[in-house]
A and B are shown apart, each in its own frame.
Chain A
Amino acid sequence: MHLLMMSLYAAITAIVLAAIEPRTREMKSKVFHGLKIFGAFLGIGLVLSWILFPIPW
């Protein structure tokens, strides 16, 4: 459930940020930019969760 929600959050954010990005105009580069944002959200989220998991608070 948590991973699904995180993925949905990342997807919505990535699509909107890629759509309003001023430096990329072609659809292909926008899609690539969106995928990078999506991957960064998921990757950083997973890494942070692994780092924070042993901390008892």
Chain B
Amino acid sequence: MQISDEVSRGLGPSYPTRPTAPDVQKPYPTAIRVIAVVAAWLVPGAGHFLLGRFGRGVLFLVLIGGSFVLGLSLHGRLYAPVADPLTLFHYDLISVLWSFAQLGTGLCYILGHALGFGAAYRPGAPTYEYGNTFMFLAGLLNYLVIHDAFDIAAGRKR
């Protein structure tokens, strides 16, 4: 069986040795990456807006912002770390974890505390736990969205 001849040997070098990766694009400058990540944390979807992914930006803003507002309207609680001098770390670890989860919503969390929404929780309400869960969901999903915005800015995905 003939494997190569003069013609095929001449064609060889004209083909790329490695297949091009269509999902990879040129990375944005470092300043844009930092701004995109901070914006994505402050306002869900804002990082994608900055990077020109308007559809995904609107989707994340509606879903994550909506989840946070739904949680508040269901009488959920905006957590803040609670000091507990009797424990090893001097803080109630559950409240620290819940606060970290909700902190992912950025301005929603900060403004919620500043405007006093965090004080309006009602543990006796039947929807209290649902409200908490939706606010945790909003924050944790936004951490993933921030990571997605960073990956786009770094040129790792489209």
Contacts and interface: CB of A to CB of B under 8 A. Distances in A.
Contacts of B111: none
Interface string A12-48: 1101110110100100000000000000000000000
Contacts of A17: 144
Contacts of B158: 25
B63 interface: yes
A55 interface: no
The majority secondary structure among interface residues of chain B is helix
Give the size category of A's interface with B. Answer: 10 to 19
Instruction: Tell me which of A5, A12, A16, A20 has the highest count of chain B C-beta atoms within 10 A of its own C-beta.
Output: A16
A9 B137 CA distance: 8
B67 A20 contact: no
Interface residues of B, number: 22
The majority secondary structure among interface residues of chain A is helix
A9 B74 CA distance: 14
A22 B133 contact: no
Contacts of B130: 5
B23 A19 contact: no
B60 A13 contact: no
B141 interface: yes
A22 B25 CA distance: 13
A12 B23 contact: no
A25 B56 contact: no
B43 interface: no
17 contacts: A9-B133, A12-B63, A12-B137, A12-B141, A13-B137, A13-B141, A15-B59, A15-B63, A17-B144, A19-B56, A19-B59, A19-B60, A20-B148, A22-B23, A22-B151, A22-B156, A22-B157
Sorted nearest first, the 7 A-B pairs with minimum C-beta distance are A20-B148, A22-B157, A16-B141, A5-B130, A12-B63, A12-B67, A19-B56
